[in-house]
Structure 1
Amino acid sequence: MKHYAVRAIMARALSMVAVAVVAACTPLQVVTHSVTQTEASVPVGQYMLDAHHWSITFDVDHLKYSRFTMRFDRATAQLDWNAGGLDKSSVAVAIDAASVDTNVPLLDKLVKGDNMFDVAQYPQIRFVSTGFERTGEARGKLTGNLTIRGATEPVTLNVVFNGFGPDPLTKQNTLGFSAEGSFSRSKFGLGTWYPAVGDDVHVRIQAEFDRPLAGT
């Protein structure tokens, strides 16, 4: 009972902080807020994944009826933004495998189990970029090494740089990205339930990275 009380108090405290932050931002600041896709305008440095503005989902064919979607609730990432923009920058991501959320409690347990992610032995899913091939302005193909269940395989993500600008609420320098790609789950030892569940896993990512403004 005490555990739930503590969680409730923390939730109320976070809510009050959020209200205070929003209240400090005038409607004019929000309405006039803008971002730029000009990569040269982004200050060089290390940016961290905004804990409140990201999503990572996997979806896979389910009996040919639909593509079943699961999301992850906990992840961290570091973006090293270098002179030269997307071409010269790199990112490393760590996903808490035990945070997988299928919206079906029994299925969550099965996916976390030793026939799939085996989160007890392999608690993290990791991605470390290795290169970038530009396909257009503010976009390109990001290659990297994906590690799941102790197996590492190269994957490619189609990445769009959505823009950069100071966040009107937090005042922090913020960058936004969208990415998607796919991988074969069997290559990671995740062949359970095939062919009822497809082999091709589609990845969709939305992410914001931020860092404090100079002098703050």
Structure 2
Amino acid sequence: MSTVPRPDQLTGDYVFDTARTRVAFVARHTMSTRVRGHFAEFAGGARLDGDDPSRSRAWLTAEARSVRTGNRLRDDLVWGKFLDGARHPALSFTSTEVRRVDEAHYTVAGDLAVRDVVRQVVLDLTLTGGGTDADGGSHVAFRGGATIDRKGWGVDWNALTSVMVAPRVLLELDVVAVRERR
């Protein structure tokens, strides 16, 4: 059963459940259609402090080669040209600051590394649930994201790209994290 836990119930070390977590993006193509994609291979975790969220930390690493958009040719293009995946095989996020806005909303600032360019991003996250799993373990769920300008990370390989693909990209996170057992 999943309910929204009180912040003081969150304290602990967590790993992202890759079967129930989605690391995704949405970009506009030719300013009229949306291209949705996600990363199939990633790892992440968090150290949550429910009493003092400013002491919380989170991290995520996604394999560039695992990008999936529903079109293999486009996947190869995003991996090869946009992400330059042969030279930069992973994208990563490491939090630098966590703030509780209210009982269910948080902002998580951190360093997003794409193509070895590191820039600050602020994620808006909502605590959407938590509870006990069938095996007795605990989990917590967050949903949210940020809108970024891909050009800030050098994700722009030719002049035509600037016309065909909008610079703003929506990053979407739907995370279920499982508390590590000691």
Confirm or deny that 1:105 pairs with 2:72: yes
Secondary structure of 1:53 counterpart? coil
Partner AA of 2:165 in structure 1: V
**1:35 to 2:14 alignment:** no
Alpha-carbon deviation of 1:65? 1.4
Alpha carbons of structure 1 residues 170 and 52: separation in structure 2 relative to 1, 3 Å: farther
Which structure has the bigger radius of gyration?
1
Matched, 1:138 2:86: no
Q: Displacement of 1:102 after TM fit?
A: 1.3
The aligned residue for residue 61 of structure 1 is 28
8 Å CA contact 1:171, 1:212 repeated in 2: no
Q: Is structure 2 residue 163 aligned with structure 1 residue 195?
A: yes
d(CA) in 1 for partners of 2:69, 2:180: 34
Q: C-alpha deviations, 1:165-214, integer Å up to 9, x for none?
A: 211x2321111110111111111111231121000010111011113556
Q: 1:106 to 1:34 in 2, by over 3 A?
A: closer
Going from structure 1 to structure 2, the CA distance change for 1:212 and 1:150 (only over 3 Å counts) comes to: closer
Separation (CA, whole Å) in 1 of partners of 2:139 and 2:106: 20
**Do the aligned partners of residues 174 and 85 (structure 1) sit closer, same or farther apart at CA in structure 2, a change above 3 Å counting?**
farther
Change (3 A) 1:212 1:131: closer
Q: 1:106-185 residue pairs with structure 2 within 5 A? A: 106-113=73-80, 115-167=81-133, 169-185=134-150
> Which residue, out of 25, 39, 42, partners 1:72?
39
Q: How many residues align?
A: 179
Partner of 1:20: none
Structure in which a larger fraction of residues adopt strand: 2
Q: Deviations over 1:119-158 (max 9, x none)?
A: 1111110000111233222212211100000100001111
2:86 and 2:24 map into 1 onto residues whose CA distance is 21
Aligned 8 A contact 1:131 1:142 in 2: yes
- Report the CA distance between 1:109 and its aligned residue: 1.1
Residues 171, 213 of structure 1: 8 Å contact kept = no
Report the CA distance between 1:34 and its aligned residue.
Answer: 4.0
Q: Which residue of 2 aligns with 1:23?
A: none
Distance in 2 (alpha carbons) for counterparts of 1:73 and 1:166: 25
Given that 1:48 and 1:77 are in contact with CA atoms closer than 8 Å, whether structure 2 keeps it comes out as yes
TM-score by length of 2: 0.91
| Structure holding more helix per residue | 1
1:78 deviates by 1.4
Alignment deviations for residues 65-98 of structure 1 (CA, whole Å, 9 cap, x no partner): 1221111101100111125253321101000111
1:131 aligned counterpart, secondary structure: strand
| 5+ long unaligned stretches in structure 2 | none
Letter paired with 2:136: K
- Superposition RMSD in Å: 1.6
Shift of 1:45: 2.5
